[in-house]
Structure 1
Amino acid sequence: MKFTDFNLKETIQTAIAEAGFTEPSPVQKDAIPLVLEGHDMIAQAQTGTGKTAAFGLPIMSMMKGDGSVEGLVIVPTRELAMQVSDELYRFGQMSGLKTATVYGGTAYGKQIDRIKQASIVVATPGRLQDLLESGKIKMNPQFVVLDEADEMLDMGFLDEIKNIFTFLPQERQTLMFSATMPNSIRKLAEQILKNPKTVSITKSESTNTSITQLYYVVQEKERDDALVRLIDYKNPNKCIIFCRMKKEVDRLVAHLTAQGFKVSGLHGDMEQKQREVTIRAFKQGGIDIFVATDVAARGLDVNDVTHVFNYHIPFDSESYVHRIGRTGRGGKTGEAITLVSPNELRTIKRIEKDVGTKMTTQVIPTRMEVQNNRADALIAKISETKVTESAINLVKTLQHDLDIVTIAHLLASLVQEETFVKGKDHIGLGLEEVELLIEKALQNRGGGGGGRNRGGSRGNRSGGRSRHGRNGRSSGSRSGGRRDSRNGGQGSNRG
């Protein structure tokens, strides 16, 4: 199926083509025809599956562009509001459809002026309720979208959402998107939707199939060492590390910074301006690693995140789905890596059952394995390097005192410092140990968990370490390549 099959307005179709989109994602394929037919809709879809286009393209295709606010999109966070607004602006600019972004922490006057010029308003619940209740704005949108509905309810916005709908016209088309479908979402849907059509994914599809899900079993005191070792081994382009608490975020940021990584934290105590600058730096490459709490990462939408690390396993299955959905976006592949202690193995099995997925257990790479990977990467890099005139002159200068073989050895010794890996030789448990612990955990289902009885030995540590499904990706060096620039923020309001 192609986007041209939807018969969208010509200017919208041109914008789609310019964006490089050809084939719709599953949620777009199912949702767009229903929206065009005028149905209310409730859709279950993860972040990164193309939801914005799934509702944005059809409603913009049906808009008149008469200067009034025809569409309202309600989202849980400022970051998501800016992201959705930017995407809608891109699709709608050829049709003359302007967007306004509305969220707290900024001046009312500027936002009100932009609303007066906008065809679509993208808003967070708190600020939108303030504007409507105070009478500062009035709107009669024909199309209303609730995006990330489960996150809005988790954040305590149920009352605000119900109140907002008292200010909206009864005759409207309402669309609701949610990654999960708890009872609270179904009850809200009954109140604000009329005879809705449903777009749903099956349980087995509730996590993105392009995401490889791995877990590593380590002792509690080994978490920091295991995390650094895995980052060194996987060499992610961009990654997000999830923690449970703010103080854990701050501690990990300090620890990883000391290791030479370009890293920044994201949690609820940060000022909005600081959050915006930090997120922009992450998107633009000034930061490689984000350490965040679940709440702080809501609305964070970055397309080229290659890895998600769960420093601690999340408290519930829904949080796990939200976390790992930050990678494997836009048709790309990703890896979700979870660190677990032996007594958390039952939780892993419960999440697998709840989500309908399968996580693979692996063994933390040894120090020598990472070092060998780096050496291989260095050899490849040297063989691909072009010889420069200044390098030739440098060697000529060195030849006044040294022979060519000694020069080669010295230069190799210098660059090889990059491949040195710190830390213990072995971290975490072997596969045989993990299998025994899983067996005990499942047998002990009614009792006290997986336990920490390791049976005395370290599994298959001695001799050869059993490796199954190892991703043999080469790992680059931290030294030299990790700059620490920061990029400034800029507003995303359109109009």
Structure 2
Amino acid sequence: MFKDSATFGDIPLSKKTISAITQMGFEEPSPIQSKTIPLVIAGNDVLGQAQTGTGKTAAFGIPIMEKISELRQVQALVLTPTRELAIQVSEELAKIGKFKKIKTLPIYGGQAIDRQIRTLKSGVQVVIGTPGRLLDHIRRGTIKLDHVNILVLDEADEMLDMGFIEDIESILEHVPKERQTLLFSATMPTEIMALADRYMHDRVTVTISKEQLTVPLIDQIYYETRDKLEGLCRVLDTEAFGRLIIFCRTKKGVDDLVASLSARGYISDGLHGDLSQAQRDRVMKRFRDGKLDILIATDVAARGLDIDQVTHVINFDIPQDPESYVHRIGRTGRAGKKGVAITFIQPREYRQLKLIEKQIKTRIIRKQLPSPADILERQIEVIKEQLARTIAQGGFEAYSNLIADMAEDYDPIDIASAALKLFQEGFKEKSQSPEERVSFGNTGAEPGMVRLFINAGRIQKIQPQDIVRTIAEEADIEGSVIGAINIYDKFTFVEVPEDVAERVLSVMNKNTIKGYRINIEPAKGR
């Protein structure tokens, strides 16, 4: 169908698009992508019911990039409910269209409109915008939509909840009637169906069913850390592992992690789509024979592997959708045996974790990363055994003179303890500190706390218990750690511990308190 075509799964695409999505880490289409992309390329209107996190952005982004030309005029328009989603979608579409040199532009409130106008005048092919700001451009005459041939309504139910339906209908009046329309929504209330009936023609409905898979014998936990490699090494040094599989999202991620762990003395190897069958067989034989402690793989490379006695699965990269999570952790806990699934997240990924938890209907327990003291305690018995065997073997006379010389100035117990520390941890300058925290500057809070501003208050009938309950539930923290709360008519200040502030900001922004959608940000210092 396409000149110089290749395939994404069974879907023929141009080589430029294949190169772009391969660079992004895509190996094969997700369920919504495999169903939607061929329909959109064929010219169908598509009504898609799918949750956030199922890969739907690429489901419409890939065919958009295949169908539009390099002419500098707006050919595709994507409507989103929030500026955050507009930016996110724009960034992903720009990556997909990278080698075709397709220019995308996010349009949203809160950014200087003059800058958006200048970029529009320079010529863009894809516009991703929020309804309010897009209507502003239409009224000013600063955007031309008469060449739009693909219109996407993303997260339509969210736009309905935010009162954007009338704005959407006003925008649709300025888009050519002869166009292709794609509508995606997690739920299908009557208002959304009415919108689809009115503006879509001969549509095809795509529904991605949620897998109801639970594995009761698997303990599911997660660690939150800004330095995942450091966190992983701490866990590897304290957990008692049998066979272990670590999942990364991309082939490059697999190669990088293999190199990093090997440099730290862990016996690991990788499995991904770029390996030949002979290479795959060699890696798997080493893993099955116990000559390889850790197998690091992408989702596709691990699919269909029949490996017994995998005690632990680690998600170094959080899966993009709940189905992938279920497939990954299903590698352990087989044949009635207990297994452990560990997921590493950064603060900004907490919302994706909660989405997975909600859809699999299983609580994923938060744990604190092991401390250096925990690691040392775990290794004490090993160290004792190694020391006893070394003393029994002898042959350490070459070091005796060194110890004798140092014993004139230092206690022998201190010398032995320092030698063990040097062997276990390597030499570290005393000034080295644990992973750095994001600095929020002076927010006017008590020491160790961050003061946050919320754009809701007494007018919305919000009370302190509403603030405490919502933040505690959404951010998975104890309500007792939340500090001072000051509620005014139109806004509220709340103090939270500095070490969880970034997570609270991530999960609470655009969230709701008592049904009211809020914005939250660090307060300015008093």
Normalised by the size of structure 1, how large is the TM-score? 0.50
Q: Which has the higher strand share?
A: 2
TM-score of the pair, normalised by structure 2:
0.47
Higher normalized contact order (CA 8 Å, seq sep 6+, divided by chain length)? 1
Structure showing greater Rg:
2
